[in-house]
Amino acid sequence: MATPAAGAKLDPSLPIAMFDSGVGGLTVLHECLVSLPEEDYVYLGDTAWFPYGVKDPDDLRARIREIAELLLGGRAKLLVIACNTATSIGEETARQVAGEHGVAVVPVVEPQAEIAAAITGNGKVGVLATPNTVASAAYRHALEGQGRALEVTEVEAPDLAPFIQDGSPFDEAVVEMARTYCAPLKAAEVDTLILGCTHYPLVAPLLQRILGRDIRLVSGGHAVAAAVQRTLERRGLARPADSEGTYRFLCTGDVDSFCDLGTRFLQMPLGEVERVEISSGS
């Protein structure tokens, strides 16, 4: 099937393509399914290469390029990067590929930064994220561009996403790990915390308990769903809100594991999952 020119009008009936390093991005897909149920979606979980948070940035960009080519080569009207690390390291790479297909990109970092800057009362914003995301300073730059003076405290949480992805049971060691990550955020007196990884909403109650009920947590799902809706409407690609769309899944790792964990993250049935191969970084 021919690729549309960059200025060509896309078909609104095409699906929204979305990808993440694993199942964490399903928390973003969940919000999109609830907010925009009339749309079709295709989601790729790169579970064979999880976690992205500690990968070499150049290798990760090559991987993201191939994933974007795979998803957009199958025709899609929008590309959503439902992964904070992929956004931080490879957003420009994804945009280059998407631009060749005439498709817009919705990342996860900027929408979260906009919300955090808008709701913080004392101007002290925390970011809890993977090492690669923190090292990229993507959130810091995004927050600095929000037009108000903000004090930003970033904390690396290298073990949190792998723990959630594994589906391991909660125990006191996990609570202590979370307390360690939250300590500098409490010391900085942040009143707003960006959950800088799409896995983190699954431990949001634990983080809220440690930080206190008055701390506002900003997850990627709500922010991205709103950005997706705005982008589709602006580009004339929104489908009529009179039907229920479909969703399907691709993964690069074990299908059974993806299904078991994915159901918990999506909070909806997954159905069939197709395994695909990505050569870059393998």
Q: Is 259 a catalytic residue?
A: no
55 with 97, same domain: the answer is yes
User: What does the pLDDT profile of the chain (282 residues) look like in tens digits?
Assistant: 344 544 568 999 999 999 999 898 999 999 999 999 999 999 999 999 998 988 999 999 999 999 999 999 989 999 999 998 999 999 999 999 999 999 999 999 999 999 999 999 999 999 999 999 999 999 999 999 999 999 999 999 999 888 887 777 778 888 999 999 999 999 999 999 999 998 898 899 999 999 999 999 999 898 999 999 999 999 999 999 888 999 999 999 999 999 988 988 898 889 889 999 998 765
Q: What is the pLDDT of residue 209?
A: 96
Task: Establish whether 197 is a catalytic residue.
Answer: yes
Same domain, 154 and 254: no
In a domain, 281, yes or no: no
pLDDT for 1 equals 39
Give the integer Cα–Cα distance in Å for 77 and 243.
18
Per the structure, the complete domain to which residue 212 belongs is given by 109-220
Instruction: Supply the pLDDT for residue 8.
Output: 64
The closest of 278, 204, 217 to 19, measured between CA atoms, is 278
Are 232 and 262 within one domain?
yes
* Within a domain: 114: yes
User: Which residues does residue 270 pair with via DSSP β-bridges, in sequence order?
Assistant: none
Residues 47 and 179 in one domain: no
Number of domains in the chain: 2
Q: What is the pLDDT of residue 171?
A: 83
Q: How far apart are CA 263 and CA 222, in angstroms?
A: 19
User: 150 and 95, same structural domain?
Assistant: no
Instruction: Please give the Cα distance from 209 to 252 (Å, whole number).
Output: 35
Query: Same structural domain for residues 103 and 194?
Result: no
DSSP H helices in 74-126: 84-100, 109-119
Looking at the structure, do residues 184 and 256 belong to the same domain, yes or no? no
Are both 119 and 44 inside the same structural domain?
no
Does residue 67 contact residue 44 with C-beta atoms inside 8 Å?
A: yes
Query: Which are the contacts of 61, defined by CB distance < 8 A and separation ≥ 6?
Result: 89, 90, 93
- Is residue 67 located within the same domain as residue 150? no
- Tell the residue number behind the tokens 């769903």, with chain if given: 225
User: What three-state secondary structure class fits 80?
Assistant: strand
Q: What is the CA radius of gyration of the chain?
A: 18
Among 197, 220, 243, the domain boundary falls at 220
99 with 76, same domain: the answer is yes
Which DSSP category does 77 fall into?
S
CATH number at residue 147: 3.40.50.1860
Q: Name the β-bridge partners of 155.
A: 128
Residue entry with tokens 């956004």: 87
* 32, 182, 197, 251: the active-site residue: 197
Report pLDDT for 252: 97
Whether 117 and 203 share a structural domain? yes
Complete edge-to-edge strand list for the sheet that includes strand 124-129? 151-156, 124-129, 192-196, 216-218
Among 83, 182, 251, 259, the one annotated catalytic? 83
Q: How far apart are CA 26 and CA 28, in angstroms?
A: 5
Question: Hey, which residues does 74 pair with through a beta bridge?
Answer: none
Quick one: 249 and 167 in the same domain?
Answer: no
- The Cα 75–Cα 10 span in angstroms is 9
